[in-house]
Structure 1
C-alpha cells in the first residue's frame, strides 16, 4: 500500500467509523522512519509480552503501543492515526539435525485508526497467520511473485486462489507434492473436493 493509498484508506475508515490497523512497510519510508523514531525515544502507553513454545521453537512477542507524535501540528496524518504499534518477535529455533539453537529477531510497525485494547492486538498475530499460511504458500508453492504474465494477470491469480482453496479444503499434507501429482494426471488429489 503506497502512502497515498494508505491515507485514502484511513480517511475512508474514519468516515465509516471503522477501526483500521495497517502494517508499515519499506514503500512508506517516511512513516516507517517516524514510527521507528517514536519507538526509540517515546514511552509506550501499554506493553504486552507473550511467549509461545512448541516443536523446537520458542517465540517471545513484545507489543508496545505509542501515542503518535508527529513533527508538526499541521500534519495530515494527525487526525487519522491514533496509535503506533511496535511488534518485536524474538524466535529461538532448534535444529533437529545439529541440536543447536539459532535466533532471529523481527520488528514490525503498525498504525491504528482508533485506540486499541489488548484483545484487539491479537488481530496482529492473526495477520501473521494469514501471511504465513496463505501468502507464503502462494509465493513459494505457486511461485506467484515470479509470474511473468502481463495480459490479464487477475485471471491467473484467481486460478491460483481456486487451486489453493481446493488443496486447503482437502487438508493436504504437502502442497508441493499434491500439486505435482495433480499435474501428472493424478486427479485423486482433487476428487474429494469436486465430489463433495
Structure 2
C-alpha cells in the first residue's frame, strides 16, 4: 500500500513510499498426530523507498532471507558455531569461521561439511585455494 506524504512523525519518514505487509503460513510438525499442521504467523512489515509490484517485492524479500539462511545454516550446521564453548575473544573465532566459509564458497564448494573433511585430509588442497 502506498504511504501518503507526511504519514510519519519524523521528517525522514517521508522517504518511505510503500508499506509492505507479508503474511506467512508455516507448517509445524505435531508429534502426537504425526503430521504437519498449518500455523499462521504474525504479519511482518517492511518499508520501501520505491514502488514495485508484489511479485518484485516478494522476490527481493525472499532473496534477502535466502542469503541470511545460507550464511547461518553454514555456520551452525557445518562449522558447529552454536555449540562453541569459546568464552574469551569469541569474536575472533567467529571472524575465522566466517573467513573459512567465505573462502570455501568463493572456491566453488557447495557442500561445506564435505569440503572441511577433504581439506582436513590434505593440507595441500587447502593451500591451493584461490584467495589465500
Q: In structure 1, what is the equivalent of residue 3 of structure 2?
A: none
Q: CA deviation at 1:15?
A: 5.8
Q: In structure 1, what is the equivalent of residue 109 of structure 2?
A: 172
The 3 A distance-change label for structure 1 pair 112 and 146 is same
Q: Please report the TM-score for the alignment, with normalisation by the length of structure 2.
A: 0.63
Q: CA deviation at 1:158?
A: 0.8
Q: Distance in 1 between matches of 2:65 and 2:117?
A: 27
SS in 1 for 2:109: coil
The 3 A distance-change label for structure 1 pair 127 and 147 is same
Q: Deviations over 1:108-157 (max 9, x none)?
A: 54222348641123222113311332111111001111112121111111
Flag structure 2 segments of 5+ consecutive residues without an equivalent: 1-8, 28-34
Q: Distance in 2 between matches of 1:89 and 1:104?
A: 8
Conservation of the 8 A alpha-carbon contact between 1:182 and 1:190: no
The 3 A distance-change label for structure 1 pair 157 and 116 is farther
Question: Which of 47, 60, 63 is the matching residue for 1:113?
Answer: 47
Number of corresponding residues: 112
Q: Distance in 2 between matches of 1:17 and 1:148?
A: 44
Q: In structure 2, what is the equivalent of residue 32 of structure 1?
A: none
Q: Distance in 1 between matches of 2:16 and 2:89?
A: 33
Conservation of the 8 A alpha-carbon contact between 1:166 and 1:190: no
SS in 1 for 2:123: coil
SS in 2 for 1:192: coil
Q: CA deviation at 1:106?
A: 6.5
Question: Which of 51, 66, 71 is the matching residue for 1:134?
Answer: 71
Q: Does 1:156 find its partner at 2:93? A: yes
Q: Distance in 1 between matches of 2:15 and 2:108?
A: 38
